[in-house]
Structure 1
């Protein structure tokens, strides 16, 4: 979960994130992340967290989503 959050944060802050193409890349999350897959992992984590932690985590993700 923390790896997915870190990768999503890195990805949306990277200046080339808008150039993502699902047909290219190496498939390694830390190098060429797949945004829909990352969001799925983060959404799955939110679903299993206790409600208080879930709200906090959702706020962090929402702030990053604004950059996307």
Structure 2
């Protein structure tokens, strides 16, 4: 996990990202892995990240909105 995908915005990069996501979801859904307790520090870090406000502008986002 935590891998960087170079050129993820290309079609092949998007397919690679999606493939890695599916592989990860399948791996963590295995019963023997679901039975393993999560590390408390990992959970705390995840909760802290999710508690942060969402960015209103990201450097790669379009200036155009689908709501217009």
| Category of TM-score, reference length = shorter chain | 0.3 to 0.5
Structure ranking higher on relative contact order (CA contacts 8 Å, 6+ apart): 1
What TM-score does the superposition give when structure 1 sets the normalisation length?
A: 0.36
Structure label with greater radius of gyration: 2
What TM-score does the superposition give when structure 2 sets the normalisation length?
A: 0.36
